Amino acid sequence: MPSPIIAIDLIKKAMIKIGALAVGETPSAAEAQDGLAALNDVLESWSLESLSVYGSMPETFTTVAGQAIYSLGAGGDWATARPTIINGLYTNVDGIDFPASEWSIGEYNSVGLKTQQQAIVQRWVYVNDAPLSKIILWPTPARAVPITIDAPRILTNVATIAVQLFLPPGYVRALQYAVGEELASEYGSIIDVSARARATKALLKRANRTARVSQLDPALMGYGFGGNPSTAFAAGAAPDQWSETQW
């Protein structure tokens, strides 16, 4: 059944596939809530797998001068769906995008001068706290600038069985088998849908896969100005002033 689909119809299809319902039957109110809980469990689990979600969710926020740490999530400094990971981040300074590189918290802790400020953010650390996660920027933004975060999309929980779901091709069928697999043990089903659940999910992952681009740490390329050409730009050095070893 293609998208859009009402949540209860998806749940009914899942229960039919494991033999918990006969064709034409309607789940009881309790069974419908069991199915809704299973559906939300599946969506939450899939949100942790980058290839199980369709695309990323770039969002742009604004930094605060002198503030390095920002909370992410509902009610946070940057109000958004709390990401599980961040794929990339860049600041826009005077109309030019400057990508930043990810650091581990250990690398950030090794920095002696954490209060250093400049307009261009060079590094970021993602701290996967709950209920709000955090992102740490270095150097600390010296002024308010737009900053764009690219994070995998979060599959939003379904509030009620009456919600209409709009999903890309293949998701409805994959979710029917995944929800059926989730419910099978609760209903004592002898129909094993696990193989079909894996196969339909694998199709989604294949469709969501993107080509990988090989990257090399700029520090290994011999850039001047601390190994980052954006730092050279910020320092006022024109490209024709960089030596071959720097560039």
**Residue pLDDT, tens place only, 214-229:** 666 656 665 444 445 4
The per-residue pLDDT for 5 is 94
Listed by start position, the domains of the chain span 5-53+154-208, 59-151
The pTM (predicted TM-score) of the whole model is 0.68
The per-residue pLDDT for 85 is 86
Contacts of 190 (CB under 8 A, 6+ apart): 19
Query: Are 154 and 82 contacting, i.e. CB atoms less than 8 angstroms apart?
Result: yes
How far is Cα 46 from Cα 179, in angstroms, rounded to an integer?
A: 12
The per-residue pLDDT for 225 is 46
Q: Is the dihedral of CA 83, 121, 102, 150 positive or negative?
A: positive
The per-residue pLDDT for 17 is 95
Count of CA atoms in the C-beta half-sphere (13 A) of 205: 13
The per-residue pLDDT for 219 is 60
Give every residue of the chain whose pLDDT is below 50, as ranges.
Answer: 223-227, 229, 231-247
